Structure 1
Amino acid sequence: MAVSLAERTQQLHDERRLLEKANLDIEEGCQRIHRQEDRVRDLQAGGHDCRQAERLVELLKQTLAEWERHRTLIIERVNFLQQEVDPVPPIH
């Protein structure tokens, strides 16, 4: 069954919204990592055991990497749908 241009256009719109959210999530994830790294430094400076705080930094970085991979998939989908909606690139 063929997908209509209207359906593809809606899918493209939806994927672009997902891309915006992914970008925001990644930005916020980077900020979380920086805040947690600051906490680790504060703990170290105070002579505290910071192993769990360091472990959290690593987990946050792993999560961020997964979010970035997911964003790549969204970008690929957006590009595909854009070609479906408007197969001829605009002339500049």
Structure 2
Amino acid sequence: MAVSLAERTQQLRDERRLLEKADVDIDEGWRRIHTQEDRVRALQAGGHDCRQAERLVDLLKQTLVEWERHRTLIIQRVNYLEQEVDLVPPIK
């Protein structure tokens, strides 16, 4: 079953929205990491046990890696759909 140009165009719009959201989420993720790193430094400066706070930083970074992988997949899909509808050059 062939997919119409209108359907591909809608898919492209949807994927671009997902890419925008992924970019926002990744930016927010970096802000959360930096905030948590500041908290770790404050705990360390106060002589507190910061193992759990450090663990959270590691988990946030691991999550961000997965978000960035997902973003790459979205870009690949956008590029594919752009070729399908012959719109604009691929995102780099």
Bin the TM-score by the shorter chain: over 0.9
Q: Deviations over 1:29-88 (max 9, x none)?
A: 000000000000000000000000000000000000000000000000000000000178
- Which residues of structure 1 form unaligned runs of 5+? none
Q: Percent identity?
A: 84
TM-score, normalised to structure 2, is 0.94
Q: Which residue of 2 aligns with 1:33?
A: 33
For 1:68 and 1:88, the matched residues in 2 are separated by 23
Q: Which residue of 1 aligns with 2:20?
A: 20
Q: Tell me: higher relative CO, structure 1 or 2? Use CA pairs within 8 A at least 6 residues apart.
A: 1
- Which residues of structure 2 form unaligned runs of 5+? none
TM-score, normalised to structure 1, is 0.94
What is the aligned-residue RMSD (CA, Å)?
Answer: 1.2
For 2:32 and 2:12, the matched residues in 1 are separated by 30
For 1:59 and 1:88, the matched residues in 2 are separated by 37
Aligned length: 89
